[in-house]
């Protein structure tokens, strides 16, 4: 019996060899192209001093990139072990734990779920370690509650658009809202082509561009590929 035809999919980020091996097992023919790049920002001495003067502030991390940015300065930041922190996503929390910081994680991997968690806290002073394309709902929440709040921009997301013939793909997979914006700033796809999102925040952003949005069961690349396979073969 001949093998079923491979589904040709685009993933808008780089994949490692294990991801590609799993895709092959699912009979997916994958083109992986990064639609964003990230530049970590150096924390200045003034920024570090400003962080240290706010010893009572709880810390917020919505990306592993923010954790990477502060990792080189961890010895210059005071009271790390006693710091109350919040992280969106288990991987971000694990990266913080590697630095000696234990973080609380909201139920869902998105900023609204984080806000719901913050609603239950007694703290009223926060520092958000973020990127240049951060969402506004966290700062709006802080303003509404009249909390002391500061955003430390510690990485920059750049939008990139590699040249592709998008009409050849059976599905397009997205791992961040920024990748969604980057992709659709250059390309349009047929309305019947499914857009597969790694998580709810990415799915919500996709709804600005497509009505054919599918979301992975878990926020990792393996689940994204599995959902793509299951959906295209259902």
Q: Are residues 28 and 60 in the same domain?
A: no
Q: Residue 89: what pLDDT? A: 86
- pLDDT 10s digits, 15-29: 999 999 999 999 999
b/e code 37-48 from CB counts within 10 Å (16+ = b): ebebbebeeebb
Q: Residue 125: what pLDDT? A: 96
Count of CB atoms within 10 A of residue 106's CB? 18
Instruction: Give me the domain span that covers residue 145.
Output: 41-155
Last residue of a domain, one of 120, 155, 190: 155
Q: Residue 190: what pLDDT? A: 92
Angle between helices 17-25 and 221-232 (to 10 degrees): 20
Q: Which residues pair with 159 in a beta bridge?
A: 36
Q: Are residues 46 and 29 in the same domain?
A: no
How many domains does the chain contain in total? 2
Q: Residue 1: what pLDDT? A: 35
Decide if 1 is inside a domain: no
Q: Residue 4: what pLDDT? A: 60
Q: Are residues 84 and 142 in the same domain?
A: yes
Residue ranges in the chain whose pLDDT is less than 70: 1-4
Q: Are residues 211 and 174 in the same domain?
A: yes
What CATH number is given to the structural domain containing 143? 3.40.50.10090
């Amino acid at each position: 019996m001949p093998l079923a035809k491979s589904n040709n999919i685009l993933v808008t980020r780089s994949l490692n060899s294990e991801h590609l091996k799993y895709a092959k097992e699912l009979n997916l023919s994958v083109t992986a192209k990064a639609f964003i790049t990230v530049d970590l920002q150096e924390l200045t001495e003034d920024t570090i001093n400003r962080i240290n003067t706010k010893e009572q502030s709880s810390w917020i991390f919505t990306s592993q990139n923010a954790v990477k940015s502060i990792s080189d300065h961890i010895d210059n930041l005071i009271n790390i072990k006693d710091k109350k922190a919040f992280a969106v996503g288990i991987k971000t929390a694990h990266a913080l734990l590697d630095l000696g910081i234990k973080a609380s994680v909201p139920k869902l991997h998105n900023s609204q779920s984080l806000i719901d968690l913050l609603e239950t806290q007694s703290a009223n002073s926060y520092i958000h370690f973020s990127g240049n394309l951060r969402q506004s709902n966290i700062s709006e929440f802080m303003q509404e509650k009249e909390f002391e709040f500061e955003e430390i921009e510690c990485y920059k997301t750049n939008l990139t658009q590699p040249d592709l013939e998008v009409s050849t793909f059976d599905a397009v997979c997205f791992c961040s809202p920024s990748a969604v914006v980057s992709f659709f700033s250059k390309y349009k796809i047929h309305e019947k082509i499914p857009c597969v999102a790694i998580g709810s925040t990415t799915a919500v952003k996709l709804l600005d561009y497509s009505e054919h949005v599918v979301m992975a069961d878990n926020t990792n690349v393996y689940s994204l590929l599995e959902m793509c396979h299951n959906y295209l073969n259902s």
